[in-house]
Amino acid sequence: MAHPLVPQIIDLAKPVAASLGLEVVSAIFKTNQSPPILRVDVRNPQHDTGLDDCERMSTALEAALDATDVIPDAYVLEVSSPGVSEQLCSDRDFSAFKGFLVEVRLSQPHRGKQEWVGTLSGRDQESLYLSQKGKAIILPRPLVELVRLSDRLET
């Protein structure tokens, strides 16, 4: 369960990241450690996220957090790259992982199934395209809730 301050932190971090040409991917506040650790993952949409991106975000976000006093007590700020995420979100993700095995969860059943596993062929505004054992599968994009990399066998 996410810490109740995480939505506020993300709201504060997004414009800071945008001003640096970055995107906030996620935030986790680990309060079970002393001092608590706030981890914010950022991504550079133009190229691989580097140490310089993380350092710039860390400096800017620390100043913004201190100015608002969202976190009143001492904490440690960690800014990092999320690395390869299991979940595919951006056009860049779908392009980079074309040909990889993915699991797809739909908001409601399509052709009798709500979960699909197949090789990612692509996506456009209307559809998500998979291949299952050479057979083309077209899923309506408005029904797609989640697409993530899979380590399961194709079914």
Print the SS3 string covering 86-140.
CECCCHHHHHHCCCCEEEEEEEEEECCEEEEEEEEEEECCCEEEEEECCEEEEEE
- Which residues, 6+ apart, have CB-to-CB distance to 107 below 8 Å? 143, 144, 145
The two structure tokens encoding residue 97: 């992982």
Averaged confidence pLDDT in the chain: 88
Residue pLDDT, tens place only, 2-56: 788 899 999 999 999 999 999 998 889 988 888 999 999 998 888 878 889 999 9
Say what the pLDDT of residue 155 is: 46
Domain 6-80: give its CATH superfamily.
RimP-like superfamily, N-terminal (3.30.300.70)
**Fold held by 91-149:** SH3 type barrels. (2.30.30)
Task: Domain ranges for the chain, please list them.
Answer: 6-80, 91-149
Q: What is the pTM of this model?
A: 0.56
